[in-house]
Amino acid sequence: MAQRHDYWTHGIATVLESPQLAQLVQHRSDIGTVIEQAANTGAWFHIPIPTPSVLAGDTTISLRDFALVATVNDNAKVDLLHLRRGKDLVYNKGVSFVATLINQTFGGGTLAIPTSAGGSSGCGITLSVHVAFLSGTPRGRVEFHGAGAIFS
């Protein structure tokens, strides 16, 4: 049986692709990254996830699943998830999360990730989350609490 490795990142590590669009940004050690943005806009947010390395023996690891823990209010909608290894898009899923706590695992399948250095094969993985900010009061808000992945 292959060893299982779970890696998690606190939501405070979330990177805003377009910080100029945000009306409020807080990186908080208690709940993660909080973003509020104007209505009828959208933005990508990126959460780097640590990836295990193999120093001897095997040359690949397998990504089994990945997870997102976040909260969106009534006027924010998580609508697209991307998982990237370097420049390579390895997972793409349309979703629809509004006014909810997202605490969900998504199927990564058995994605083989080469562990050699150089190029995108030596990169870790990043979970990219697209949020559409809807009209209404209060202003659209998303809180990124954390993200993780299960490797074997």
- Least Cα distance to 96 among 134, 125, 144 occurs for 134
What's the CA gap between 55 and 36, in Å, rounded?
42
- The residue written with tokens 């009828």 in the block is 40
Tell me the CATH number of domain 16-151, given options 2.60.120, 3.40.640, 3.90.920, 1.10.8.
2.60.120
Instruction: Return the pLDDT at 55.
Output: 60
- Least Cα distance to 109 among 135, 83, 128, 74 occurs for 83
Question: Domain limits of the chain?
Answer: 16-151
Cα 49 versus chain centre, distance? 8
Instruction: Return the pLDDT at 52.
Output: 78
| pLDDT tens over the chain, length 152 residues | 457 778 999 999 999 999 999 999 999 999 999 999 999 999 999 999 988 776 665 566 788 899 999 999 999 999 999 999 888 888 899 999 999 999 999 986 666 665 555 444 557 789 999 999 999 999 999 999 999 999 87
Instruction: Return the pLDDT at 64.
Output: 86
The model carries a pTM of: 0.90
Instruction: Return the pLDDT at 123.
Output: 72
| φ/ψ (deg, to 5) at 58 | -60, 150
